[in-house]
Amino acid sequence: MKRRLVLVALFLALFPPILASCGYRFSGGGEAVDRSIQSVYVDAFINSTAEPMVENYVRNAFITEFRRSGRFSIAGSADDADAILSGTVRNIRTSRSAYRIMERAVEDKVYMRLQITFKERNGNVLWSHNGLEDSEAFLVGDDPLFTERNRSQALKKLASDLAELAYRGIMAGF
């Protein structure tokens, strides 16, 4: 038995190109966006919630994500772009996540749901998602300013995570 394991380990060490060249890959592993699309305009998001400023967090997160990728440049207007990303912040809700003694909350979780459309300037939809959702936990305390500051940071992190998730979906084509 040991001999067989040693032989398998030796084979894997000596012949990794054989395994790497087998052609197996995850579907959607390529780049689904045509290379002719070089610039993207991130439109202002619609805020369908009562949460102030969240549409700005989301838009800024998408701009940052597209810039970070290095694949696209950010256009100053829709007229100057090859593609346009737009969307709506559809829902934000908060729930209790963790408690300590005497049923006092120590952590809440905020959920955000987005509707996103990525389309060519001519209107051809390249990718869309009607219910992209994620959550982020944040600490709560007796001081309302402490709790609100943490919630705001959680919303910004959540916007960033959703932008990254959407970008990967756009680039993979699903």
Q: Is residue 131 part of a domain?
A: yes
pLDDT at 96: 80
Between CA 135 and CA 159 the distance in angstroms is: 10
Domain total of the chain: 1
- pLDDT tens, residue by residue, 44-76: 999 999 999 999 999 999 999 999 999 999 999
Q: Is residue 108 part of a domain?
A: yes
Q: Is residue 3 part of a domain?
A: no
Local confidence band at 24 (pLDDT 50, 70, 90 cut-offs): very low
Q: Is the pTM of this model over 0.85?
A: no
Write out the residue range of the structural domain in which residue 44 sits. 35-172
Q: State yes or no: pLDDT of 98 exceeds 70.
A: no
Q: State yes or no: pLDDT of 133 exceeds 70.
A: yes
Contacts of 155 (CB under 8 A, 6+ apart): 51, 54, 57, 92, 110, 112, 136
* Residue where the block lists tokens 């959607």: 28
Between CA 170 and CA 112 the distance in angstroms is: 19
* Average pLDDT over every residue of 34-49: 96
Residue 58 maps to which CATH number?
A: 3.30.160.150
Q: CB of 87 within 8 A of CB of 116?
A: yes
pLDDT at 142: 87
